[in-house]
Each structure stands twice: as C-alpha cells, then as structure tokens.
Structure 1
C-alpha cells in the first residue's frame, strides 16, 4: 500500500532498462565475441546507453582478469568466458577449477558466491554462530572454505535421512533453503561446463530410464576433474582467480593487523568473517568476494592467500622498468597497475611467466579442439603449479619454525 503522492511524485513511470541495472561485463564479452566492434561505440548506440564510467570500469575489469587485451581483443580465456552465461569472475573460477582438477569444491564456493552465504546470524546468539562458522573454517582463514565445509557436512547429514539434514542446519545456524539452492546451482554450473565442452558426460539413461543415471554420469565426470579437490593451497589459488582484483593488503602490526585496498584505502574485516578476530596473519594478502559500507568499509567473505597464489592467478603481470642502479640483479614485476610489486631472481620470474603462458596455450588448444581432455593435456601444468604452491607453503612453515 502506498499513497497517491508517493505514486505520482516519487515512483518512476517505467522500470530502468536492464542495460542500466545490471553489470556490463557479460555484455561486453558478447559484443567482442560477436565481433560488433568497439564496446563503448556499440553501447553508445543504445536508446538509453550506460554511462561512460560504467563501460570503462567493465572493460578495465575484463582486462585485469585476462579476458581482454589492452587493444580490447578477446584472449583465449575471454573466448571461453564469452561462452559461459555466468558472471566472468565466477566463470573464470569454474574454468580454473576444471583445468586444475579442483572442480567439486570450486562449484560449491562459486554457487555460494552467486547466490548467498548459507550462514544465518541471529542477534541473540551471534557469538555462538560466529564460533560455529570458525569451526567450519577449520583453521584455513577462509570464509569461502567455511561455506564449502558447511555444505559438505550438510550433504553427509542429509544422506542419512530422517530429517538429519534439517537438524544439522538448525544446530549449526545454516539456512537449508540456501544450501538447497547451492546444490541446484552446482548442477546448473555442470550443465554450463558440459555445453562449453569442459565436462565430458555420457547422457545415457540406463535400463530404468529417467534422469538419475544421467546425474550419476555427471558425478563421474565431476570426479575426474576433482582429483586435487583436497589441495587447500590450490583451492585458495583458484579463489584468487575468481575474486581478483578484490585484493586486501595486510599490514601486520605487533598487536593487530591493518588492512587496505587499492580503491578504498583503509578497510576492516566484517565482524561475521572467520578472520575478524584473528590477530596474526601468516600472509600479506586477503582476497574477497564482497564488501559493505556502513560506519566504514567492511570486507565480508574473504580468504587469506599466499604470494604465489596471487602471482599465478591474480591477473595480468607487468614488468617494472629498472631505474638507474637497477634492482641489484633482481627482476621486478607488478599486478594491479603498480599497486602490487614483487622482486625476484630473473629465472623465477621467467618460470612464473612460462606457467601462465602454458595456461593460455592450453585454453587456446581447447578452443581449437573442444574434445581436448584437460586432465591429460594439462597434467604437467597442474603438477608444476602444485609444486610451486607447496614449496611456498613449506618455506613459510620453515620461516615460522
């Protein structure tokens, strides 16, 4: 119910056109995929075109995640993302999950990010609910892993029947409706991957007919792309691919850490995050999927990640030119413009660039041959990345020891 004054003077006569209400990244990819020319010029022909800042931000994001070149041409990754009817960052996360044999957990996290967090925080039991969520995170410093573990445990409880799934949600401050939606979205993502040629499925229905054997076949295909599902370092690296450029710098102080981002400056971790009460951060970086603004800017769902995870999966690498005197034999490179800079031995930088180049080549080969088996063709690349991530983890443990 509303007043006539509100209807006549404050309500819009028509709903805003969809082009002005929704993110432009998917549309930009479609424009390039259909070879419709310059994105800004094409969108400028619309009856009610988006503002230039929104267009520039969309193009810049696609460049940052490696979907477009600076000349606004689709990369191999961009070609694949254009074929996926999902947000490009979510699409990139899912593709990386398939390529690196980590698809099952990535599907759950991607579904949670696409829909909503399954955790509920009742005001009268907030501290207990926060503690339960931290238990699901299991020491990983990751809200995303907390969602993954909560979903997996719910599935196990539900499989026992007798309303155990519902009881599990009640005792662990979870929304069963949200978990069911995450389950449905996982299947939707599998359909998308199958249509894009990233999931090989036998669609036979078996002797009894119906859809159940079809689902089992998809589960078999899913397992073949999930052989590294329990590699936490790899999962966090793939989260970098799906959240970049949402990066937080961690400045560790003696008593507590301070946080900042490139675009917002000082930020804080949201009280609902599993990292909110953490005093010491073993890594210098956090990636996040969303933020909110109230009394300040708060980073909500987030995950602490390593240097190599960010370097390997964090967008386009740019060389930094040496000034007079050089870098003492080291080579310097950057991410996010000049916001993130690293120095390393030239051979290390060359190795990182070679791994990223091999990933681009693998995606290009998949474009040329949709039947290409990624689990076979990408095995050497995956093993090299795993070794690099594990060596980073081992060296960090050595430093702490």
Structure 2
C-alpha cells in the first residue's frame, strides 16, 4: 500500500476546514475577519496554508513509517518487540494529544457518510427539516433511485421535472419520491408509481431503511427527541422549501456555482457556469432539472457530486439546486468588506456581493448569533428550542423568516425535448417563464427584500 500524496492530504485538510470540521488556529480568524486589512488577510491566509502544509507533511511522514514498518514485519524476529507507533498528535501536526477537529467535526466523524451529507443531517435536525434532509442524504450516500432506459429519456425527464414541483432542485426530487412512495400503501400502487417515473422500488425501500438508521443515530447523539424520521418536533419546517434550500447551501458549501446569462445578437443564450477558480471548467448535466435553465440575471447553485467523462474537457455536475443570495451569506465562509466601497463584500474570496450596508450588518449580526447557537449545539447537542420567548427561539425564527421571505430567482427555460419545435424561444427578456417555488411555509409572507 502506497502512502498518501502530500498535496492530496493538503486538499483534504483544506476541505475539512471549509466545512468547519477542522479547527485551525491562525491567531486572527474570527467573527471580525471582515474588518481586517488586506495585508492582515493575506497574513491570515498564509498562516492557514502553512499550518495545513505542516499537518500534511506530518501525516505523510507517519504514513510512510507505517507502510515501511508493515513491509519489514516479515524479516523481523518473531520475539522482537514492535516499535511504538507515532503518537496521535504527530499525525495531525499539532502539539498536544487532541486532534484539531471542531465540535462539528467530531460529530461528522461519527456518522457513516460523506461529511457534507452528515452536516446536512445535523442541520436538518436542528432547523426542523429532518425528513427532507434524511431523504436527500440517503439518496446521495446510497444511490440514485432512477433507472432510465435509453429509449425513454424524454418521458423520464418530463417526469423528473414534475417531481421537482417547480422548485428548481434535483435534491427536492428525492424528497418527493420518498414521500410519495411512503404514502402509497399497496404494492400495486407503488409498482405503478415506480413504473411511471422509472424508479427502482427496491432502491427506494433501502433508502427508507437508511433514513430510519440515520434518524436513530441522530437520536443517539441527542439532536432529536425520538428515533423516528417523522418526529414532529424535528419536522416542524419540513414543507418549508426556501429554508431547506438554505440548509442545503450550508451543508454542501463550498460546492457553489454561479450561472451567468449570455446574450448574443439580442437573444438570451445558454448561460456560462462559473465555479471557484480552483475548480476549473464545469458544466451541468442535461438530465438535471436545471439543465435547461437560462437565468435572466446571475443565479447561484449548490451541488454535491460531479464527474468527468473520458472524452470531456470539463467536469459535469450531476445534481443542483438553485438558491438565492441570503443562504450564501449565512452559511458560507469568511465575508470581507471592501475598504474602498462600503456596499461591496467578498464571500469566500471569490463571490462578489453588493448590498445595503445596513441590511448587511443585520445579516452579519444574525449570522454571528446563529453561529453561537450552532456552536453550542455541536458542543452539547440538544433538541432545538423553538419557543419564541427563548433567546434561541427568537434568533431561529428571525433567521427562518429572513431566509424564507427571499423569492426564488426568476429564470427562463430552453425548449424541452417534448415541446413542439415551433415554440419560439425567449429573446431579450420576452417570453420569460418565472419558476417560483410552490412549497413555501403557509405562515410566512413572501415579501421581496433586496440584499
């Protein structure tokens, strides 16, 4: 067995730090990071890179020691004493006996899945969206429930678009599939449902079983009151899709894309997909419900999986959900203010945001309060207190209202394969088809607030 490559270890450490699973001490990083000067920010970033490299070197060095030790075991005397393995602290490159996992990282390490999906489960439980979070995490961690014959691609695409319920989300398709399947009581009804949408019933049954297993783990870690995926207290916001897409953003960050509209000769063309500079070129799978989306204005997406075909020059994103801007501000990485223009802010060192400074300060202060609540939950898990008279309940209700009151971005669509070829495509803003979520919480008013 070959030891891990040092650069691969560095990338892993950087990823764990981005999803808040790893605690790195840089001396200055904190809630006031956005007020640092450019020189201080560069110093902070340099300190983090140096610390990650040191940790990666130590991890690679100790992996080499273990590999060499295993290879030499055959030539040693059976009565000889084994050499002691390196201490736990030397693996992580930090002094002391404790690994630099954050409180959240400790919980993510205990859940048997990708850390982003584990984070989705925890956030879903804390924000009252448990069942949708369980459905999405189980599907992404296990397998896609769809099995589409090559000669039925058009029918399958039309059915998948219907299952999305106009939410502009591949992930909500999984939620709809699981909910509809569970509501059908007879085997005949389930068979017809699966045949209509090209779904494998045995896969959905396994996904439902996994949802129960993951719910029991969350109950064991005290995030929910009962071990049931349908626990009422943990599903108080299960139909609040605007909140759920914000939770998706928090869990899947930094997997964020930006769709930028393209206009040629006065006509709207296929948008350009922008990812972080380190990601390179990316495209969206045509099978995605957002594969034909052409935004009128730049919009943001979150995704979980991407792949690269042998004959392709860029990676392809397999699953997407279109999100507005506020979830990015609440659940992203560091936010830095522009020292020249007080209305411009930079998120995660590449996302440019123009916002009213007063509203931005409100979001920043709310985010700080939310971070404190989440940190306390990660350190000492407990069931969420939604009582408006409590400090926790007031903050959460305010955050939920702010996230749920932001409208879905307006988009237009290319002609779908099942539509007649004589259908005129939109141009110059004419023929815009507004796609807005039908799954908003009934007690919340959808009032537009510009960020």
- Are positions 1:306 and 2:324 aligned together? yes
Name the CA distance, whole Å, in 2 between partners of 1:332 and 1:383.
Answer: 26
C-alpha distance in structure 1 between counterparts of 2:285 and 2:383, whole Å: 43
Change (3 A) 1:283 1:181: farther
Q: Secondary structure at the match of 1:56?
A: helix
C-alpha offsets along residues 284-314 of structure 1, whole Å, 9 cap, x if unaligned?
1111111121224221111111101122123
- Give SS of 2:258's match: strand
Say yes or no: does 1:235 pair with 2:248.
no
The alignment partner of 1:276 has SS state of: coil
Distance 2:409 2:164 in 1: 23
C-alpha displacement of 1:119 = 1.4
In structure 2, C-alpha distance between the alignment counterparts of 1:278 and 1:167, rounded to whole Å? 30
SS in 2 for 1:50: coil
Provide the C-alpha distance between the structure 2 equivalents of 1:344 and 1:135, rounded to a whole number of angstroms.
35
Pick the structure with more helix per residue: 1
Aligned residue number for residue 374 of structure 2: 363
Match of 1:317 in 2: 334
The residue aligned with 2:228 is: 218
Of 202, 206, 209 in structure 2, the residue corresponding to residue 181 of structure 1 is 206
Query: In the alignment, which residue of structure 1 is the partner of 2:190?
Result: 165
Distance 1:367 1:238 in 2: 16
Find the aligned partners of 2:145 and 2:344 in 1 and give their Cα distance. Answer: 44
Match of 2:14 among 31, 56, 60: 60
String of CA shifts for 1:180-229, please: whole Å, max 9, x gaps.
Answer: 1210110111111012111223xxxxxxxxxxxxxxx6256x22111111
Aligned 8 A contact 2:301 2:320 in 1: yes
| Residue 294 (structure 2) aligns with | 279
Aligned 8 A contact 2:299 2:409 in 1: no
User: Is the counterpart of residue 155 in structure 1 residue 190 in structure 2?
Assistant: no
Root-mean-square deviation (CA, aligned residues, Å) is 2.6
CA 1:369–1:313: 2 relative to 1, 3 Å: closer
Which residue does 2:253 correspond to in 1? 244
Aligned residue number for residue 145 of structure 2: 118
8 A contact 2:212–2:229 mirrored in 1? no
Give the ranges of 4+ consecutive aligned residues of structure 1 lying more than 6 Å apart after TM superposition: 394-397
Say if 1:92 and 1:368 are closer, same or farther in 2 by CA, change over 3 A.
closer
Q: Where do residues 71-82 of structure 1 align in structure 2 (5 Å cutoff)?
A: 71=25, 73-82=100-109
Which runs of 5 or more residues in structure 1 are unaligned? Answer: 1-15, 17-47, 202-216
- SS of 2:281's partner is strand
Q: CA deviation at 1:256?
A: 2.5
1:164–1:154 Cα change, 3 Å = same
Calculate the TM-score normalised by the size of structure 1. 0.75
The alignment covers a number of residue pairs equal to 329
2:358 to 347, 366, 380: 347
Of 402, 406, 410 in structure 2, the residue corresponding to residue 392 of structure 1 is: 406
Q: TM-score, normalised by structure 2?
A: 0.67
Q: Secondary structure at the match of 2:407?
A: helix
Q: What residue is the counterpart of 2:164 in the other structure?
A: 137
**Equivalents in 1 of 2:409, 2:192: separation in Å?**
43
Listed as ranges, the matches of 1:10-29 within 5 Å are 16=1
Q: Is the 8 A contact 2:22 2:101 kept in 1?
A: yes
Give the deviation of 1:321 after TM superposition. Answer: 5.0
Q: Is the 8 A contact 1:288 1:299 kept in 2?
A: yes
Equivalent residues of 1:85, 1:192 under 8 A apart:
no
